[in-house]
Structure 1
Amino acid sequence: MKNTLMLFVIIILFLGCAKEEKSIFSSSSFEELPRWQDENHKKALNSFINSCKSKKTQKLYSHLCQKATLSQNPKTFFETEFDVFKIQSLDANKKGLLTGYYEPTIRGSFIKKEPYIYPLYNEPNDLISVDLTSIYADLKNYRLRGRVVGNKLVPYYTREQIENQEIDAKVICYTDSKIDLFFLEVQGSGMVSFENEESIFVGFANQNGHKYSSIGKYLVEKGEIEQQLISLQSIKKWFKKNPSRIDEVLNYNKSVVFFKEKKHSASGSLGLVLTPERSVAVDKNIIKLGSILFLDAMIDGKKVDKIVMAEDTGGAIKGEVRVDMFFGSSKRASRVAGELKSDLKLWILLPKEDN
Structure 2
Amino acid sequence: MKHNILFLIAILLFFGCSKKPEAPICDVPKPEVEKLSKPEFTPSKFDELPNWHEENYLEALNSFLESCKTTKTKALYEELCKSGKDVADAKSFFMQNFTPYKIDATDAKDDGLLTGYYEPLLKGSLTKKEPYLYPVYSTPRDLIVVSLASQYPELQNYRLRGRYDGNNKVVPYYSRKELSSRTLDADIVCYVDSRIELFFLEVQGSGRVLLDNGEVIYVGFDNLNGYKYSSIGKYLIDAGEISYAQASMKGIKNWCDKNPSRVDELLNHNESVVFFKKRNKPATGALGVVLTPERSVAVDQRYLPLGSMLYMSAQTKEKDLNRIVMAQDIGGAIKGSVRADLFFGYGDEAGNSAGKLKAPLKLWIFLPKAEL
TM-score bracket, normalised by the shorter chain, equals over 0.9
Query: For the Cα contact (< 8 Å) 2:117–2:204, is it kept in 1?
Result: yes
Tell me which moved more, 340-349 or 120-129: 120-129
Provide the rounded CA distance (Å) in 1 between the counterparts of 2:88 and 2:268. 53
Alignment counterpart, residue 132 of structure 1, candidates 134, 142, 148: 148
Instruction: List per-residue Cα deviations over 1:81-137 (Å, max 9, x = no partner).
Output: 111111121322111000000100111111111221111000111111123333323
Structure 1 counterpart of 2:30: none
Provide the rounded CA distance (Å) in 1 between the counterparts of 2:221 and 2:201. 10
| Seq. identity, % | 53
Over 3 Å counting, the alpha-carbon distance change for 1:347 and 1:105 in structure 2 is same
**Residue 153 of structure 1: CA displacement?**
2.0
Tell me which moved more, 179-188 or 137-146: 137-146
Structure 2 counterpart of 1:88: 104
1:281 aligned to 2:298? yes
1:227 aligned to 2:244? yes
- The residue correspondences of 1:143-182 to structure 2 (distance < 5 A) are 143-149=159-165, 150-182=167-199
Over 3 Å counting, the alpha-carbon distance change for 1:299 and 1:136 in structure 2 is farther
Structure 2 SS opposite 1:277:
coil
Tell me which moved more, 249-258 or 280-289: 280-289
Structure 1 counterpart of 2:135: 119
Alignment counterpart, residue 158 of structure 2, candidates 138, 142, 146: 142
1:268 aligned to 2:285? yes
Provide the rounded CA distance (Å) in 2 between the counterparts of 1:145 and 1:326. 28
Structure 1 SS opposite 2:365:
strand
Tell me which moved more, 111-120 or 200-209: 111-120
Structure 1 SS opposite 2:196:
helix
- What 5-or-longer segments of structure 2 have no aligned partner? 18-34
Structure 1 counterpart of 2:218: 201
Q: 1:83 corresponds to which letter in structure 2?
A: T
**Residue 177 of structure 1: CA displacement?**
0.7
- The residue correspondences of 1:49-68 to structure 2 (distance < 5 A) are 49-68=65-84
Q: 1:9 corresponds to which letter in structure 2?
A: F
**Residue 80 of structure 1: CA displacement?**
1.4
| TM-score w.r.t. length of structure 1 | 0.95
Over 3 Å counting, the alpha-carbon distance change for 1:44 and 1:11 in structure 2 is farther
Structure 2 counterpart of 1:17: 16
Provide the rounded CA distance (Å) in 2 between the counterparts of 1:24 and 1:303. 25
Provide the rounded CA distance (Å) in 1 between the counterparts of 2:137 and 2:285. 19
Provide the rounded CA distance (Å) in 2 between the counterparts of 1:318 and 1:66. 32
Over 3 Å counting, the alpha-carbon distance change for 1:34 and 1:11 in structure 2 is farther
Structure 2 counterpart of 1:110: 126
Query: For the Cα contact (< 8 Å) 2:299–2:331, is it kept in 1?
Result: yes
Q: 1:60 corresponds to which letter in structure 2?
A: L
Alignment counterpart, residue 184 of structure 1, candidates 198, 201, 209: 201
Over 3 Å counting, the alpha-carbon distance change for 1:20 and 1:75 in structure 2 is farther
Instruction: List per-residue Cα deviations over 1:221-258 (Å, max 9, x = no partner).
Output: 00000112210000000000000000000000000000
Structure 2 counterpart of 1:292: 309
Query: For the Cα contact (< 8 Å) 1:26–1:87, is it kept in 2?
Result: yes
Structure 1 SS opposite 2:345:
coil
Structure 2 counterpart of 1:250: 267
Provide the rounded CA distance (Å) in 1 between the counterparts of 2:12 and 2:56. 24
Alignment counterpart, residue 74 of structure 1, candidates 86, 90, 94: 90
**Residue 198 of structure 1: CA displacement?**
0.9
Tell me which moved more, 35-44 or 293-302: 293-302
Over 3 Å counting, the alpha-carbon distance change for 1:117 and 1:279 in structure 2 is same
**Residue 11 of structure 1: CA displacement?**
3.8
Tell me which moved more, 104-113 or 239-248: 104-113
**Residue 326 of structure 1: CA displacement?**
0.5
Q: 1:306 corresponds to which letter in structure 2?
A: R
Q: Runs of 4+ in structure 1 displaced over 6 angstroms?
A: none
**Residue 9 of structure 1: CA displacement?**
2.4
1:45 aligned to 2:43? no
Over 3 Å counting, the alpha-carbon distance change for 1:30 and 1:133 in structure 2 is farther
Alignment size in residue pairs:
351
**Residue 285 of structure 1: CA displacement?**
1.4
Instruction: List per-residue Cα deviations over 1:110-167 (Å, max 9, x = no partner).
Output: 1111221111000111111123333323334221111122332211111111110111
Query: For the Cα contact (< 8 Å) 1:283–1:322, is it kept in 2?
Result: yes
Query: For the Cα contact (< 8 Å) 1:14–1:291, is it kept in 2?
Result: no
- What 5-or-longer segments of structure 1 have no aligned partner? none
Provide the rounded CA distance (Å) in 2 between the counterparts of 1:140 and 1:25. 26
Q: 1:48 corresponds to which letter in structure 2?
A: F
Over 3 Å counting, the alpha-carbon distance change for 1:144 and 1:320 in structure 2 is same
Structure 2 counterpart of 1:308: 325
Instruction: List per-residue Cα deviations over 1:279-309 (Å, max 9, x = no partner).
Output: 1101111111100000000246211210000
